[in-house]
Structure 1
Amino acid sequence: MTATTEGLHHVTAIAGDPQKNIDFYIRGLGLRLVKKTVNFDDPGTYHLYYGDESGRPGTLMTFFPWRGIQPGRIGAGQSTSTAFSVPAGSLGWWVDHFASVGAEARITSTSSSEERLLVRDPDGLQIELVATHQHDPRDPWDSASVPAEYAIRGQHSSVLTVRDAERTIALMVNDLGMRIVEEEGNRTRLAAGDGMPGALVDVHASSLAPTGLSAGGTVHHIAFRVPDQATQQLWRDELASKGHRVTEILDRQYFTSIYFREPGGVLFEIATDTPGFAIDEPLLELGRSLKLPPWLEPSREQIERAVIPVQLPEENNPEVAA
């Protein structure tokens, strides 16, 4: 391997009403909207990025919200669940908190190693909170909705559901530099880097799962981290040399990206850690304004007419809310 990943960069999913999405992820999950931009391939709709205070890689969840989109189907060939890391002993607080915002949540598993809570967002996307005794050193976004002592630290893991797990696992080991750390039944856990929360992927083998349909309430793709564009280019060259149909490097303004599908059908992205979300607005004001890349600025007036107006909760920018 020329390059290996240090873990997850972000997960991108498809939503419906952007206001419902904003309210749930800011007030329900206690994340911060760190960038309000548009889908560069379809500028008539938003691309919303949520994460910690500055949107560090490994804390990010992003959405393409198309109002009126039909519900998708969660199934094989997709990332079927996205998990966030929370402190040990916090899930009871989260059950009560979700009830207070009108979301039903339930603890689905408890073991000596981890506890998991399942909640669905307004579009039916499966979100899990995972509490473990493994120390997660990442600082949370201390929002008005979720106190820091309970708050999300960042991504924990993603679950990939595929029919042929052997080929998917082989790619992740041989081409992404991950390693198998646990096998139980039809589920295999792989880790990157130091194996901490945010560097984990669970591959779920299922011959009975329906074929996934990409639409509302489903994950569009998952992205893995690479430090910079030079490393990304090395990785792209190596993937292409092994026969993967990988895109050219694409400018996403806050990082650059390449994309390819793994053998089970899940769309993978490899994204750079740099340059980050503070390149076009101050840290205190992240998410407040609609930001466009230079090549879309000439169309700003048309784009602003096309996107649906949304209101940002004050807790997203507490020091400038007034």
Structure 2
Amino acid sequence: MDPIHHIHHISAIVGNPEENIQFYRDILNLKLIKKTVNFDDPSTYHLYFSNGGVDNGTILTFFNWPNHYKGRTGAGQVQHIAFRVPRGSLKQWETHLKVHEIETVRTQLFGKDTLEFVDAHELPLALVEDDKEALDKHSIDIVGFYGVTMLSNNPYQTVQTLTEEMGLACVNENDMYIHLKTVGDWQHHVMVKKDVPNEHVRWGVGVVHHIAWSVPNNHVHKAWQTKMLDRGYHVTEVKDRHYFNAVYMKERGDIIFEFATEGPGFTIDERFEDLGTRLIMPPQYEEREDELLRLLPPIRI
């Protein structure tokens, strides 16, 4: 079986949906591609963003919880979401974020210049330049994901899952992190922190919920489900997420991994040019639309 080549999507928990849209669409210049509801809790929104081309491997999704459900960063989660930006654009991004009164700090988190900041709901984010993606003087748009950092309850077991089971390659190791990357064209980077946090993650606003790994089709998807079951992981049944099929598991450091198919994709219920312009109810909730709309806060932007 081929190794995992790249991230499919990352899902995080945030607060007010309008604040969420204003930050990612209007400040980070990502494309809002889907307004729907959480399949497991249809009283909350599920918003999807991507790069301008809606390319596979660039999808970021959000569960919009009320602001008073504040999360706690801890073991068993993805911590930072890092975006890939064009070569030579980091200074412009620094200026752009400052204009919007967003504090940034320069670090070497991914082994090269990294611009760290948080979103409107204190979700940790970062920008890293792509050596191959040249800067267009008219645009500093996000290309896609650069990678993630992970906080594990068992860092070396997490690394073992990623390398021995899923085929990621080890880049290097320092006092703080073990640095891995996927073997596909995207080369998504994963930094597994070696220190185990004192507390476990508490789900809530400002915390990443899970990371999904991309598989090409249903046949390969079933093979990954079988493989991970055979390796002793607890893996869910296949779940129809309308735009892709998914199975979920906790790896041995308690981080939630999802394996998601590339299809059928986000244009099965909207034309590309109309993506994200209206609320789409999953088929199983269409008959409850009026009831659910009374529970959902308005999105007026």
Question: Do residues 80 (structure 1) and 69 (structure 2) align?
Answer: no
Could you say which residue in structure 2 is the equivalent of 1:15? 14
CA-based RMSD:
2.0
Q: How far apart, in 1, do the equivalents of 2:138 and 2:223 lie?
A: 39
* Aligned counterpart in structure 1 of residue 181 of structure 2, from 191, 200, 215: 191
Q: How far apart, in 2, do the equivalents of 1:208 and 1:11 lie?
A: 21
Give the deviation of 1:3 after TM superposition.
4.4
Task: Sort the Cα spacing of 1:94 and 1:26 in 2 relative to 1 into closer, same or farther, 3 A.
Answer: same
* Aligned counterpart in structure 1 of residue 285 of structure 2, from 293, 296, 307: 296
Alignment of 1:216-295 (within 5 A): 216-295=205-284
Give the deviation of 1:209 after TM superposition.
4.9
Residue identity opposite 2:44 in structure 1: T
Q: How far apart, in 2, do the equivalents of 1:110 and 1:60 lie?
A: 22
Q: How far apart, in 2, do the equivalents of 1:58 and 1:167 lie?
A: 25
Q: How far apart, in 2, do the equivalents of 1:194 and 1:244 lie?
A: 24
Give the deviation of 1:57 after TM superposition.
2.3
Q: How far apart, in 1, do the equivalents of 2:133 and 2:170 lie?
A: 20
Percent identity of equivalent pairs: 34
> Alignment partner of 1:10: what SS?
strand
CA contact (8 A) 1:278 1:286 kept: yes
Q: How far apart, in 2, do the equivalents of 1:110 and 1:207 lie?
A: 17
- Equivalenced residue count is 301
Give the deviation of 1:258 after TM superposition.
0.4
Question: Do residues 307 (structure 1) and 283 (structure 2) align?
Answer: no
CA contact (8 A) 1:190 1:202 kept: yes
Gaps in structure 2 of 5+ consecutive residues: none
Residue identity opposite 1:122 in structure 2: A
TM-score by length of 2: 0.94
Give the deviation of 1:67 after TM superposition.
2.0
> Alignment partner of 2:148: what SS?
strand
> Alignment partner of 2:36: what SS?
strand
CA contact (8 A) 2:151 2:197 kept: no
Q: Which deviates the most, 298-307 or 11-20?
A: 298-307
CA contact (8 A) 1:91 1:107 kept: no
CA contact (8 A) 2:151 2:196 kept: no
Residue identity opposite 2:210 in structure 1: H
Task: Sort the Cα spacing of 1:22 and 1:200 in 2 relative to 1 into closer, same or farther, 3 A.
Answer: same
Could you say which residue in structure 2 is the equivalent of 1:122? 120
Give the deviation of 1:207 after TM superposition.
3.2
Could you say which residue in structure 2 is the equivalent of 1:156? 146
TM-score by length of 1: 0.88
Residue identity opposite 1:119 in structure 2: F
> Alignment partner of 1:172: what SS?
helix
Q: How far apart, in 1, do the equivalents of 2:14 and 2:107 lie?
A: 24
Q: How far apart, in 2, do the equivalents of 1:260 and 1:36 lie?
A: 26
Give the deviation of 1:187 after TM superposition.
1.0
Q: How far apart, in 1, do the equivalents of 2:300 and 2:246 lie?
A: 29
Q: How far apart, in 1, do the equivalents of 2:93 and 2:122 lie?
A: 18
Q: How far apart, in 1, do the equivalents of 2:18 and 2:144 lie?
A: 22
Could you say which residue in structure 2 is the equivalent of 1:319? none
Q: How far apart, in 2, do the equivalents of 1:216 and 1:227 lie?
A: 31
Q: How far apart, in 1, do the equivalents of 2:104 and 2:123 lie?
A: 13
CA contact (8 A) 1:163 1:205 kept: no
Give the deviation of 1:210 after TM superposition.
3.5
Q: How far apart, in 2, do the equivalents of 1:55 and 1:255 lie?
A: 14
Q: How far apart, in 2, do the equivalents of 1:130 and 1:117 lie?
A: 7
Q: How far apart, in 2, do the equivalents of 1:162 and 1:302 lie?
A: 40
Give the deviation of 1:22 after TM superposition.
0.6
> Alignment partner of 2:234: what SS?
coil
